[in-house]
Amino acid sequence: MPVTVDNSGDIEAICQNSPASVGDPVRLVFRAHEEATPPFNVKIRSPGGKVIFERVLRELPTGEPQSAPAVEFSASGPGEYRLEIKQLYGKQRGDAVLHVKLD
């Protein structure tokens, strides 16, 4: 099941493990266009609109050495998973749509 990501905003989401299968973990890292000061709030909604992941991150996972671990969740089925990341005490934010499809 290939995973594609459509991004908008100041913080970009990147899927580390594409393609993934239903039930496999999806690992996400982030890239800020400007220096982003933590903490960050991350929220992921399933294709049905239910919040399946919500967490405050002390550090932005970038996928580089010494970075925080990637945000990981399980894609239980095909569809559009909506992701929102924003600074708790700043203006930077990012929105992404992960398109998960069956092969």
Q: Please write the tens of the pLDDT for every residue from 38-76.
A: 999 999 999 999 999 999 999 999 999 999 999 999 988
The answer to whether residues 70 and 63 touch, using CB atoms and an 8 Å cutoff, is: yes
Number of domains in the chain: 1
The domain in which residue 52 lies consists of 3-100
How sure is the predictor about 83, in pLDDT bands with cuts at 50, 70 and 90? very high
Q: Where are the beta strands (DSSP E) in 49-92?
A: 51-57, 71-74, 79-87
**pTM tops 0.75:** yes
How many Cβ atoms from other residues are within 10 Å of residue 27's Cβ?
18
Side-by-side strand order, sheet with 25-32? 11-15, 25-32, 71-74
CATH of the domain at 29: 2.60.40.1930
